[in-house]
Amino acid sequence: METCNPDVNLLSISTAMTSDSLIEALTATFKSPPPQYGIYPIMHSLCRFVEPDSVHKRSVSHLVGQEEPRHTLTLLEQEVLRLQRRGFGGVVTNVGWGNDYLKNWQPIQQVIAELKKKGFVVYLYDEKGYPSGSAGGSVLEKYPHFEAIGMMAYRYPGLLRGPADYRADLPDGQLYKALLLPAVEDHENSPVELKGLVDVTHCADRYGTLRFTIPPGRWVFVVLFKRRLYDATHCMLSYSEPRRYINLL
């Protein structure tokens, strides 16, 4: 993040000023506020104005005042001048999203240098697809253990009654435990007892199916499994592209 010193600091306006001079000073400040008090547009594509050879220039006499001499500016200089003439005091921008993403830093360095030269406040962020934090997938590519994965539990509906053979498909994820818990009462939402539980985890096959014989009695069937915690969230339904997501905890 870059900051700049304001030409007029609101806090430095003396309380000893007369009411007329104070109003005049505040009015002047509001008419032409320091950059950090201005509007900061989000500009996703400033890097595209950096020409490969960095020397291409175009005539832009229409961008400067009539009294000023004719200028030739790069495409980047033209764009920054347009932003400045529109009254923006800063810019929120990002690294270019091309095939050289996070490999070629020269374009964004040129962008920042040009913005700072014109007195802009610059906020630099990384995204390449919302929500932020994945850096286009490169974070989890290097640190796969940062993925948002957690333990989940699924309670199968109803009570299982034995003795009987039973088959169940497992939820998507990595099975941790499959347990039969003694039901205290004879209804679907019955509380359970931990004493006397039966572990049937070993009955799962490689296709994610459980087959076992229910012991005599009534049971609540629960499986514990590890899986991604961001399915059906904006990470997977993003308009940019689906992506694995990091654990922010």
pLDDT tens for residues 9-44? 544 555 556 678 888 888 887 877 777 777 899 988
Same domain, 92 and 164: no
Rounded Cα distance, 18 and 7, in Å: 21
Do 162 and 103 share a domain, yes or no? Answer: no
Cα separation, 160 vs 197, in Å, equals: 13
Domain contains 28: no
**pLDDT(225) > 80:** yes
Confidence band of 191 (pLDDT split at 50, 70, 90) = very high
Give domain status of residue 139, yes or no: no
* Residue 5, domain member (yes or no): no
Q: Give how far Cα 240 sits from Cα of 75, 87, 101, 124, 249, Å.
A: 27, 30, 15, 20, 24
Q: Is residue 30 part of a domain?
A: no
Tell whether 47 and 120 lie within a shared domain: yes
Asked whether residue 1 is assigned to any structural domain, the reply reads: no
**Total number of domains in the chain:** 2
Inter-residue long-range contacts of 229-233, CB under 8 Å, 24+ positions, other chains counted: 229/148, 229/149, 229/150, 229/152, 230/148
- Domain of 76? 38-125
Q: Is 168 a member of any domain?
A: yes
Question: If you average pLDDT over residues 92-117, what whole number do you get?
Answer: 88
Q: Which of 63, 68, 62, 55 is nearest to 82 (CA)?
A: 63
pLDDT at residue number 15: 54
| 243: confidence class by pLDDT, cuts 50, 70, 90 | confident
pLDDT band at 230 (very low <50, low <70, confident <90, very high): confident
pLDDT tens per residue, range 63-96: 545 444 445 788 999 999 999 888 888 999 988 8
- Asked whether residue 55 falls in the same domain as residue 118, the answer is yes
pLDDT score recorded for residue 218 = 96
pLDDT digits 0-9 by tens, 202-215 = 999 999 999 999 99
pTM above 0.85, yes or no: no
